[in-house]
Structures are given as C-alpha cells and as structure tokens.
C-alpha cells in the first residue's frame, strides 16, 4: 500500500491513462555484470538484502515512467543546487536523478520487467514542496527528458477529477469533495 502522497501521485498518473504499480522492488542481481562491477553504487553499502525501492512505475502503451515521490510538506523541501535536485535540509541529492549508473541500472531492469525498450523508459519526480529553484529544476528536468510534477499540479488534477460527476472511490477525491461541500 503506498503512503499518502504516493497514493495521490498514483491517482495523478492513473488520471493520465497510465497503469500504475506501487512500491516496486528491484532485487540486486549478483549475476548482472554491471551490478557486480558497481555493487557499492547500486546496492548501497551494508545492505543485508539489497533491493532498490521505487515508489511508482506508470506505464501505458508507449511509455514507462519511473516515479520518485517526495512529499516533504513538513521539511525544508526540494532545492536545485550544483546542477542537482537535492533535499534542501540535508543537501543530499536524490539518487535516481543524480547517479547515472544507478539510474541506468533501474531503467534497464524495469524496462525488461515490464516489456519496454530502454528508450521508452523515462523518469519523473513528484514533489510536495520545493524550497528554491523551481524554475531551474523544471528547466533541468526538461533538458534531461524527465518530468517534475509539483504539488500544485497534482492538486489541480485531483481537483479537476473531483469536480467530475463520475463516482471515483479514492480517499483524495473523497477529501476534496468533502472540503468543497464544507465550503473550503
């Protein structure tokens, strides 16, 4: 079961006609030559059962999107510094968007798992709070062929879905409708 903001991000992609899998794990493959060569970078240090956790994987007939979700509503948020998307509080880069070896490994493994060509796989970051540099982040992500989705964009889409007459059984839709009925 995805966490709260991950579930709302899932709804965002489903409303764009993607089929979404949540909390996807990629086991570390000891037989993979690239994995063995870059074990420390890919699997991390000291992991007893190394696996890579991916928040969402969204696919349609032509594209697979690997989605990292960071709410950061109660923290400093996301920042753009030194050409990288980083946690503004810790200055730690977001690995999927800063480590090319790791990103290529994830891309290759998920393309094979879901039956896509590597060229059909792209990346997205859904973020709840941007501390600084949103325009620079958007420009950087676009130049890389990635998607940056802000909480405002997610909220606009969820609000649009909630305003439609169709019944949709999703907590976010129910909450938006409830707030609307309450005059908020």
Domains in the chain: boundaries = 4-151
Rounded distance, CA 184 to CA 178, Å? 9
What single string gives the DSSP state of each residue in 130-183?
EEE-HHHHHHHHHHHT-EEEEHHHHHHHHHHHHHSSS----HHHHHHHHHHHTT
Beta bridge partners of 25: 53
| 178 pLDDT higher than 50 | yes
| DSSP 8-state symbol, 20 | E
Write down the pLDDT at residue 43: 58
Write down the pLDDT at residue 51: 66
Give the DSSP H or E segment for 108. helix 100-114
| DSSP 8-state symbol, 89 | T
pLDDT tens digits along 145-172 = 999 999 999 999 988 888 886 767 888 8
pLDDT tens digits along 95-127 = 889 989 889 989 999 999 999 999 999 999 999
Residue linked to tokens 């990635």: 146
| 40 pLDDT higher than 70 | no
Rounded distance, CA 123 to CA 105, Å? 13
Write down the pLDDT at residue 16: 92
* pTM metric for this prediction: 0.85
CATH of domain 4-151: 3.40.1350.10
Write down the pLDDT at residue 164: 83
């Amino acid at each position: 079961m995805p966490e709260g903001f991950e579930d709302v991000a899932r709804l965002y992609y489903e409303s764009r006609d993607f089929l979404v899998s949540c909390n996807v794990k990629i086991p570390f493959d000891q037989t993979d030559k690239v994995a063995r060569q870059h074990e420390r970078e890919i699997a991390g240090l000291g992991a007893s059962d190394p696996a890579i956790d991916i928040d969402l994987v969204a696919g349609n007939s032509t594209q697979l999107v690997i989605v990292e979700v960071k709410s950061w509503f109660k923290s400093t948020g996301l920042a753009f510094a030194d050409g990288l998307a980083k946690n503004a509080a810790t200055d730690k880069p977001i690995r999927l968007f800063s480590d090319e070896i790791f990103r290529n490994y994830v891309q290759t493994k998920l393309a094979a798992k879901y039956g896509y060509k590597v060229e059909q796989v792209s990346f997205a970051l859904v973020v709840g709070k941007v501390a600084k540099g949103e325009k620079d982040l958007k420009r950087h992500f676009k130049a890389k062929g990635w998607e940056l989705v802000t909480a405002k964009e997610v909220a606009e889409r969820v609000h649009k879905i909630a305003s439609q007459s169709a019944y949709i059984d999703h907590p976010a839709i129910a909450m938006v409708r409830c707030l609307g009925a309450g005059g908020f």
